[in-house]
Amino acid sequence: MKKTILSITALSLLFLGSCTKDVVKEGTPDLNNNVSNMNDLVVPANFTWENSRDVNLTINITDVRFQEAVHIVSVYDENPLAGGQLIARGAATLNAGFVSQINLSNTIKRVFVSKVSPDGSEINKYIDLDSKNVTVALDYTTQVGKTGLGKTGSPNCSSGCTQTITTSTSNLNVNNGDVVCITGSNITVGFNGNGGTIRICGSNVNVQNASVNNSCALIVTSTGSATFSNLNLNGSSSSFQNWGTVTVNNSFSPGGTFTNNGTITVGETFNVNGNTTLTNNSSIVVNKDCQVNGTGLLINQCYLWVKKKYQNNGNTRNYSYIKVGDETTINGSSEIGMYNGAMFKTKDVQINGTIKGYVSTSLFKVTGNTRINGGGSVINFIQYCDANGIETNNGTIGSGATQSCGLYLPVTTCNPEGNGTAPVPVNPDTDNDGVPDNSDAYPNDATKAFNNYYPSETGRATVAFEDQWPSKGDYDMNDVVISYRYNIVTNASNVVVQVNANYSLIATGGVFQNGFGVEFPINRANATGVTGGTLEAGQTKAVVTLFNNTRAAVQNWNTKIGEPTSDSVNYAVSFNVTSGPTLSTFGLGIYNPFIWNNTSGFGRGYEIHLPGKTPTTLANTTLFGTSSDNSSVSAGRYYVTKPNGLPWAINIPTKFDYPVERADINTAFTKFATWVQSNGTTFTDWYTNQSGYRNTNNIYSK
C-alpha cells in the first residue's frame, strides 16, 4: 500500500512539474538535419554525449645532465604567452616520467608543454593530441643537428632517365616530360630548362649558362658536385634541390622552391625574393650579402653563414644557427623568428621590425652595436645578448624576452659555436621534497607540491541536468545548472593528496527539491577533513554532497527572461586524500556529478547522472528500465532514454549559456543536432557563440 501511495505521489508531482512550466517554445530547427526537437534526433548507437575526452599524456625525460634530479613538467591548453592556461604540473626524472590523465575539450587538438630543468632552464614544445595515449620525450634542447641530411632520401640517376649525359655539352634543352641525367664527371654543360627534370649525379660538373624556367626541376644528388658560373632559377613553379655540393659563382636570386640538403657556397649576393621559399636543412655559406625580400621566406634548419650583411625585408625562420659577419638589418613589418633553442649571431644589428622567439628560448647575440628604432621589438622566448650593452633602444625588449647572455646551447653539427656552459642545479628546496622552491606551489610543506586543474587554472566547466528521470524531461537542460573548477593537489611524487573544488549553483529551472553531489574515484575511507560539503555516509566511494534542496538554496529559477533573478550560490569544497593514487589514476576531469530528486515521494535513490556514469551505492537501481529509462547494469549502459538514447545531463568544458525555460536545447543551439547525428565528428564547438550557432531568443541571459 505504501509503495502504491508513493507511486501515485510521484506521478502527481511529475504532472505538477510539467504543469507549472510554460508551453514548450518553438525554435529554429537545425538546417543540416532538419531536427526540430530532441525526440526527433537519430542518435548513433555508440554516441557518448561527451564534449571532451580523456588523454593519457606521458612526458619522459632524456636530459642526462642532472642524473636523477627532478625536472618540472607543466601542461597548458596553449602557449601561456598567448593566453594559455595551466592544466597539469608535476615532477619527472630520467627513470620516472610525468604521467597524467587529462580530460580535454574535443576542440583542443594540441597542448603546450614546458620542462624546467633543475638549473631553471626551460624547454617548451607543442604536442599534438592525435590519439588517446600520447608519449613524448624532452631533452635539454629540441634543436636537432642535421648530420648526413645530404645523403638521406636523395634521388639518383639509376632509373627514370629519358636522356643521360656523360660528356661535355652545351645548349641542352629540357622540356616537359624530359628527365635528363648528367652522370659524367669533370665535364662542362649548359642547359635551358622549360619543364621536365635535370639531375646532376656526376662530380666536379662545371655548369655554364644554366636557366631553370617554368615548372622545371633542377636536382643535384648526393653523389653530385657542381659549380655554376651563371645559375638562373626563374618563375614560382621552378624548383631546385641540392643533396650534394654546389658552388654558385654569380649573385643568386632563386625563384620558386629552393631546398638545400647538402652544402652550398654562394660567391656573390644571395637574394630570397617574393614568392620564393628557401629551406636550408644543411649548410649554406654566402661570401657577400644575403637579402630576404617582400613575401620571400627563408627557413634555416641548420647552418647559414653570411660573411657580410644580412637584410631581412621578408620573413626569416631560424631553427638552428645563423651567423652574420657584418650588420643585420630587420626592416619594417618583417620578422626574424627564432625557434626551439636557435642562435643568431651578428656583429651589428639595426632593428626596425621584430625578433620573436617561439616555443623554446633562443639566443640573439650581438658582438658589436645594437640599434633598436621606434617600432622595433624583441619579444617572446628570446635571450638578447649584447655583451657591451645596447647602444640605442627606442623600441621594445619584453613580453618574455630578456637581456642576458647565459643561455646554454650545446655545440652540434649545425651550431659549431654553442653558447654558455652546461648548467648545474642552483635553486633552493626549503621543504626538501625534491621540488625547487620556484616550482613548488607549497615550498614550506613537504606533503604538497603541485596544483592541477580541470578544466584549467582560470576556466570553469558546466554540468546541466534534466530532473524528470526516469521519465523524459523537456530538454531545456536547466533544471539544475552548476559551473565548477577543480584543483587537484599532488606531492613531489605526483600522488594526489588534496582535492579543492569550487561549485556555483547557477540555475534551478524546476519545481523538484533536487540535491547535488559528486562521487570521486577513491574509497570513502581515504577522504578526510571534508569542508564545504558533506562526506555522505553509506557510500563505498567518496561522495561529497553540497545541498539537498535546490528550492531552498536558490529562491528564483534564473531560467525565465524578465522574471526576478537570484545570485549564484558558491560552494568551496576541500578534503584531504590519504594513501592516494597517482594523478594518472585519479585523473583530471569531470568525475561523477549527479543530482537526486529529494522531493517527497521520490527520495535519495532517484539519482540522475551523466550518460555512461555509474550510480553510487545509494542509488535505487530497481528504477532502471522503468518509464523512459534504458539503463542496464549487465549491459554497462546508464542514464539514457529508450528508444533513442537521450541523456538527462550534459557536461560542457567551459561556461555554458543554457536554454530558457521549456526551450529544447536543440532549438537554442543550431549545430547541436548536427553534432549528435554526426556521432560527435562535426561541430564539436556547437555550444560556442560563433555566428550561426545560436538562436538567442531561446538562450537565457540575466
Distance (Å, whole) CA 595 – CA 516: 4
Q: Which has the minimum average pLDDT: 122-126, 437-441, 448-452, 679-683?
A: 122-126
Q: Are 194 and 250 found together in one domain?
A: yes
Q: Are 113 and 173 found together in one domain?
A: no
Strand order, beta sheet including 98-105? 98-105, 52-61, 133-138
- Antiparallel, parallel or unpaired: β 335-339 and 315-318: parallel
Q: Are 514 and 533 found together in one domain?
A: yes
Distance (Å, whole) CA 51 – CA 477: 15
Distance (Å, whole) CA 8 – CA 18: 15
Residue 670 reports pLDDT greater than 60: yes
pLDDT of residue 9: 37
Question: What percent of the chain lies above the pLDDT cut of 90?
Answer: 81
pTM for the model? 0.75
pLDDT of residue 362: 95
Q: Are 603 and 489 found together in one domain?
A: yes
Q: Which has the minimum average pLDDT: 4-18, 186-200, 366-380, 572-586?
A: 4-18
- For residue 26, name the pLDDT band (cuts at 50, 70, 90): very low
Whether 124 and 359 have beta carbons less than 8 Å apart is answered as: yes
Q: Which residue has the cell 557510500?
A: 539
Instruction: Confirm whether 443 is domain-assigned.
Output: no
Q: Are 129 and 165 found together in one domain?
A: no
Q: Are 44 and 86 found together in one domain?
A: no
pLDDT of residue 141: 61
Q: Are 562 and 636 found together in one domain?
A: yes
Instruction: Confirm whether 302 is domain-assigned.
Output: yes
Instruction: Confirm whether 432 is domain-assigned.
Output: no
Q: Among 386, 403, 420, which residue terminates a domain?
A: 403
Q: Are 173 and 313 found together in one domain?
A: yes
Q: Among 383, 403, 423, which residue terminates a domain?
A: 403
What would the mean pLDDT of 131-154 be, rounded to a whole number? 66
**Helix intervals (H) in 233-381:** none
Q: Which has the minimum average pLDDT: 68-77, 409-418, 531-540?
A: 409-418
Per-residue DSSP letter, 568:
P
**CATH number of the domain that residue 75 is part of:** 2.60.40.1120
Single out the residue of 9, 23, 31, 19 nearest to residue 670, CA to CA: 31
Tell me: the pLDDT tens digits for 176-224?
A: 999 999 999 999 999 999 999 999 999 999 999 899 998 999 999 999 9
- Based on the structure, what is the number of domains in the chain? 3
Q: Are 374 and 264 found together in one domain?
A: yes
Q: Are 558 and 680 found together in one domain?
A: yes
pLDDT of residue 351: 97
Q: Are 627 and 679 found together in one domain?
A: yes
Instruction: Confirm whether 438 is domain-assigned.
Output: no
Question: What percent of the chain lies above the pLDDT cut of 70?
Answer: 93
Instruction: Confirm whether 471 is domain-assigned.
Output: yes
What would the mean pLDDT of 622-633 be, rounded to a whole number? 97
- For residue 11, name the pLDDT band (cuts at 50, 70, 90): very low
Q: Which domain range does residue 508 map to?
A: 2-48+460-698
Q: Are 286 and 345 found together in one domain?
A: yes
Q: Among 368, 403, 438, which residue terminates a domain?
A: 403
CA-CA distances (angstroms) from residue 520 to 52, 192, 649? 18, 73, 18
Which helix (H) or strand (E) is 18 found in, with range? helix 2-19
Q: Which has the minimum average pLDDT: 5-9, 284-288, 631-635?
A: 5-9
461 Cβ neighbours under 8 A, 6+ residues apart: 454, 455, 483, 484, 485, 590, 651, 652, 653, 654
